């Protein structure tokens, strides 16, 4: 395994991600920001943040598989959410949980959540990019 996820003493323990990823692999994979498009480029879950988060995570999983990896190889996620407010956290967590159930893993690598004014397509509410390390 090229990734070890840890919560060092002295830092808070966060349920939805770990504070640090220690890598030992030899290939770095950068996954472009994934939005809620299906394979045909149709937006999934228009107006539904949880559905879009789920689709974004599934798309990241597909991209990782195409590079020979999985969420087990992710060292860092960056999540961009349109008009973020803390009240949206349950929807974000619901989407992550639904994607995790389909992927067979709850993705918990270090993550950064960034609120943005808009994304490239007005219907998109979230975009997720990943960095993975493969053996």
Q: What is the pLDDT of residues 92-110, one digit of tens each?
A: 999 999 999 999 988 789 9
CATH number of 3-134: 3.30.1330.40
Q: What is the mean pLDDT of residues 53-79?
A: 96
Please name the residues in contact with 42: beta carbons below 8 A apart, sequence gap of 6 or more.
none
Q: Which burial class, exposed, middle or buried, applies to 24 when counting CB atoms under 10 A from its CB (0-12, 13-18, 19+)?
A: exposed
Q: Which pLDDT score, from 0 to 100, does residue 54 have?
A: 98
Domain positions in the chain: 3-134
Please name the residues in contact with 67: beta carbons below 8 A apart, sequence gap of 6 or more.
29, 31, 132, 134
Taking the mean position of all CA atoms in its chain, how far away is CA 23? 18
Q: Does residue 31 have a pLDDT over 80?
A: yes
Q: Which pLDDT score, from 0 to 100, does residue 108 have?
A: 85
Q: H-helix or E-strand containing 101? A: helix 89-103
Q: Give me the chain's average pLDDT, please.
A: 95
Q: Which pLDDT score, from 0 to 100, does residue 49 have?
A: 98
CB 75 within 8 A of CB 132: yes
Q: Which pLDDT score, from 0 to 100, does residue 16 have?
A: 86
Structure tokens at 83: 């008009």
Q: Which pLDDT score, from 0 to 100, does residue 1 have?
A: 66
Q: Does residue 47 have a pLDDT over 70?
A: yes
| Cα–Cα distance, 87 to 44 (Å, whole number) | 22
Q: Which pLDDT score, from 0 to 100, does residue 37 have?
A: 98
């Amino acid at each position: 395994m090229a990734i070890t996820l840890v919560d060092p003493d002295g830092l808070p323990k966060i349920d939805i991600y770990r504070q640090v990823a220690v890598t030992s692999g030899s290939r770095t994979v950068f996954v472009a920001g994934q939005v809620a498009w299906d394979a045909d480029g149709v937006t999934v879950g228009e107006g539904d943040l949880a559905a879009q988060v789920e689709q974004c995570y599934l798309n990241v999983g597909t991209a990782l598989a195409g590079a020979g990896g999985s969420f087990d190889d992710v060292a860092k996620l960056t999540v961009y959410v349109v008009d973020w407010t803390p009240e949206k956290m349950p929807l974000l967590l619901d989407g992550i949980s639904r994607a995790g159930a389909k992927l067979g893993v709850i993705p918990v690598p270090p993550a950064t959540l960034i609120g943005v004014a808009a994304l490239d397509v007005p219907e998109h509410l979230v975009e997720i990019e990943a960095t993975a390390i493969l053996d």
